[in-house]
Amino acid sequence: MQYNLDIRKKQEFDVVVVGAGPAGISAAVSSARMGLNTALVERYGIVGGSLTIGCVGPLMGNVSKGTIVDEFKQLLQIKEPYGAVAHDFEHAKTVLTDLVNKSNISLMLQTPVVEAVKDGERLTGLIVGTKNGLEEIGGKVFIDATGDGTVSYLAGAETRFGREGDGLVQPVTIMFTLAGIDDSKAISPQHNTYYVRLADSGFREKCREAARKGLLPKNASFVRLYRTNRPNECMVNASQENYINGLDTDDLARAESSLREQTNIIRDFLRNNVAGFENCYVTGSSETLGVRETRRVMGEYMLTAEDLLTGRKFKDAVVSEADFILDIHNPAGAEQADDRRVKPYDIPYRCLVPLKVEGLLTSGRCISGTHEAHGSYRVMYICMATGHAAGIAAALSAKHNVLPRELDYRLLRRELLNLGIRLSKIE
User: Which stretches of the chain bind ligand FAD, using CB under 6 A?
Assistant: 18-24, 41-44, 49-50, 56-61, 112-113, 145-148, 150, 173, 175, 237, 290-292, 364-365, 378-380, 383
DSSP state of 422: -
CA distance 27 to 6: 31
Q: Report the residue number, 226 or 349, with the smaller CB distance to ligand FAD.
A: 226
Q: Report the residue number, 280 or 380, with the smaller CB distance to ligand FAD.
A: 380
CA distance 361 to 330: 30
Q: How far is CA 398 from CA 126, 384, 392, in A?
A: 17, 21, 10
Q: Report the residue number, 90 or 406, with the smaller CB distance to ligand FAD.
A: 90
Q: Report the residue number, 145 or 186, with the smaller CB distance to ligand FAD.
A: 145
Q: Report the residue number, 239 or 400, with the smaller CB distance to ligand FAD.
A: 239
**Residues in CB range of 398: below 8 A, 6 or more apart:** 14, 15, 36, 140, 141
Q: Least distance in Å: CB of 390 to ligand FAD? A: 11
Q: Least distance in Å: CB of 60 to ligand FAD? A: 4
Q: Least distance in Å: CB of 176 to ligand FAD? A: 10
Q: Report the residue number, 44 or 89, with the smaller CB distance to ligand FAD.
A: 44
Q: Report the residue number, 160 or 378, with the smaller CB distance to ligand FAD.
A: 378
- Give 171-206 as a DSSP string: PBB--EEEE---HHHHB-STTTTT-BGGGSHHHHHH
Strand pairing category for 133-144 and 122-130: antiparallel
CA distance 323 to 306: 14
Q: Are 120 and 261 in contact (CB under 8 A)?
A: no
**Residues in CB range of 318: below 8 A, 6 or more apart:** 347, 348, 349, 352, 386, 389, 393, 409, 412, 413, 416, 423
Closest CA to 55 of 46, 64, 63: 46
Length, in residues, of the chain: 427
How many of the other CB atoms lie within 10 Å of CB of 134? 16
Q: Least distance in Å: CB of 408 to ligand FAD? A: 26
Q: Least distance in Å: CB of 61 to ligand FAD? A: 6
Q: Report the residue number, 35 or 81, with the smaller CB distance to ligand FAD.
A: 81
Burial class (CB within 10 angstroms; exposed 0-12, middle 13-18, buried 19+) of 2: exposed
Q: Least distance in Å: CB of 205 to ligand FAD? A: 23
Q: Report the residue number, 85 or 280, with the smaller CB distance to ligand FAD.
A: 85
Q: Report the residue number, 209 or 339, with the smaller CB distance to ligand FAD.
A: 339
Q: Least distance in Å: CB of 366 to ligand FAD? A: 6
CA distance 29 to 104: 8
CA distance 201 to 285: 27
Q: Least distance in Å: CB of 184 to ligand FAD? A: 26
Q: Least distance in Å: CB of 410 to ligand FAD? A: 27
Q: Least distance in Å: CB of 324 to ligand FAD? A: 8
